[in-house]
Amino acid sequence: MRLRTVVIGIAILPLSVLGLMVLIGVFGFTPFATAFVFLRNGVRAARINVNDAALRSRLGTAVLSGALVIGMPVIAHARVESDVSATVETLISGSAPEAEAAAQRLKTFRFVSHRHTEDIAAAYANEPNTTKREILNDAYKSVTGNDLFWRYHGIAD
């Protein structure tokens, strides 16, 4: 986190120096102050020896904490991605009632990746069943706000 903050500070340093002429550039030095505070508090925390804990124990706690901080969002993302993929797969390859249920389930997800929306669009283009095409179009429209009918007939929304 400290390194990222320093990198951001360095990246906006030229703009901050130019902005000093109108006094708003002072705010461009905030990442440097934040990185300094993180570094100072990190050094203080590393020096504290609570209950005579060994360095190995403190290091283990830090590594476990870092693994949790990084691992939990990664696991959550993988789970949601898996659910969205399964729902889109059911929407594309399932029967009309299954596709209708999958379309309703797809509406509950806050974000559906471009890859999945393109899969829905490709399935729409290749689907001979008009009922299923309508379900695919409705699902695509609920996710993207665009209508597939116009996309495949050369007319923009």
DSSP, residue by residue, 59-117 = HHHHHHHHHHHHHHHHHHHHHHHHHHHHHHHHHHHS-HHHHHHHHHHHTT-S---HHHH
The predicted pLDDT at position 26 comes to 72
The predicted pLDDT at position 154 comes to 58
Tell me if 20 is assigned to some domain.
no
The predicted pLDDT at position 157 comes to 44
Share of the chain above pLDDT 70, in %: 91
**Number of domains the chain contains:** 1
The predicted pLDDT at position 86 comes to 95
Please give the angle made by the CA atoms of 83, 89 and 90, to the nearest 5 degrees: 90
Tell me if 51 is assigned to some domain.
no
Residues 41 and 111: their CA atoms lie apart, in Å, by 37
Give the residue ranges of the chain where pLDDT is below 70. 1-2, 25, 50-52, 153-157
Show the domain range for 77: 72-157
